[in-house]
Amino acid sequence: MMLTHRILSILIVLGYAVPLFAQIKKAPKPILYFNHSNAGTSFQKVLTKAGDRNAPYFTERNIDSNRDGKPDLAFFTKEVNRLVPNMKFSGILTLDWEGKGYDFLKNDTNIRPKEFDAALQPFIQLIKHAKKLRPQAKWGFWDMPSSIYWVTVNKQWTRRINALDALLKECDVLLPSLYDYYPSTEGHGQRTDPIYLETILRTSLEKGVKLKKPVVPYIWHRYHDVMPDWGNKSIDPMEFEETIQAMLNIQYKGQKISGVVWWHEDKYLLNIQSPLVKKEQQGASDSEYMDNTMWTYYNILKQYFTVPL
């Protein structure tokens, strides 16, 4: 024991102890970002504390005022100034431009280079302009590289994903969508959920390594609304946590996700009287229901991510 202390003392004097201890430090947790337009009364304090970890997003109505597939840059500039008035904002800003151009980039399988490149140009024009408006922010496109649950990984799919590189290299961060489609109790979910998660996330991480971009997927605590039987239903908390654990274990050449953006639109679902959401509410006020929901999933997420509270 005395010899061990002497060796350690010599290492400290020589300056070797610091790197020795640095090697055994735990890696920092990835960051939790919030994309919440509304929250319950008590959970609002988390969002207030989050600061630049609140991640505003811009949809087609903020980008393409004429719905002609071309970015209205003057109008978009006004929307950025309205929604993100802080010129020094340093968090994530998402371009969620879902329209004909997005559908083409997501679903085209023929990959005619000239046609595909022409479809990319409005998106490239938009993000270049956006980066000038808030240069300290991390700009990216929602669901890029695009995710398809029922994906068949073949040459056509690989060509389409690779053809997105011209756009992805302009992004500061890659923001794939990893919304859940099936409950784990469903046979289809048991078979395909792990494949979907692994395929989309490894593809994004591969792009991240190639293009030197962090990967921060979007997640949601509800099943995707395209599913008729359980769309918008809250995910079982245990299943939600298992998905988070699986997500954090996926890597490509040592790179893992740098965080997640947690999306939330419960107030909208309450306003439109979504049947499964109203059933879950069970007579609670909107604020009480949102608070209970947010704290349930936040208490799971804070075990795995750096959080404000």
pLDDT tens digits, 195-246: 888 888 999 999 999 999 999 999 999 998 777 787 789 999 999 999 999 9
User: Which residues are registered as beta bridge partners of 262?
Assistant: 34, 219
Report residue 279 as tokens: 């059933």
The confidence score (pLDDT) of residue 197 equals 87
Would the CA dihedral through 56, 61, 67, 73 be positive or negative? negative
Q: How far is CA 121 from the centre of its chain?
A: 23
SS3 of residue 75 by DSSP:
helix
Residues whose CB falls within 8 Å of the CB of residue 228, separated by 6 or more in sequence, listed in order: none
In the chain, the amino acid numbered 14 is L
Average model confidence (pLDDT) across the chain: 86
Enumerate domains of the chain plus CATH numbers.
32-301 (3.20.20)
Q: How far is CA 294 from the centre of its chain?
A: 17
Determine contact, residues 260/30, Cβ cutoff 8 Å: yes
Q: What is the tally of helices (H) and strands (E) in the chain?
A: 14, 6
The confidence score (pLDDT) of residue 2 equals 41
Per-residue confidence of the chain (309 residues) as pLDDT tens digits? 443 444 334 334 444 444 434 444 567 899 999 998 778 889 999 999 999 999 999 999 999 998 889 999 999 999 999 999 999 999 999 999 998 888 888 876 666 778 888 889 999 999 999 999 999 999 999 999 876 666 666 777 788 888 899 999 999 999 999 998 878 876 565 556 788 888 889 999 999 999 999 999 999 999 987 777 877 899 999 999 999 999 999 999 999 999 999 999 899 999 999 999 999 999 899 999 999 999 999 999 999 999 987
Q: How far apart are CA 287 and CA 123, in angstroms?
A: 37
Determine contact, residues 246/291, Cβ cutoff 8 Å: no
Report residue 26 as tokens: 């735990």
Would the CA dihedral through 52, 53, 58, 62 be positive or negative? negative
Question: Which of 79, 74, 103 has its CA nearest to residue 93?
Answer: 79
CA dihedral 92, 93, 99, 104 (to 10 degrees): -50
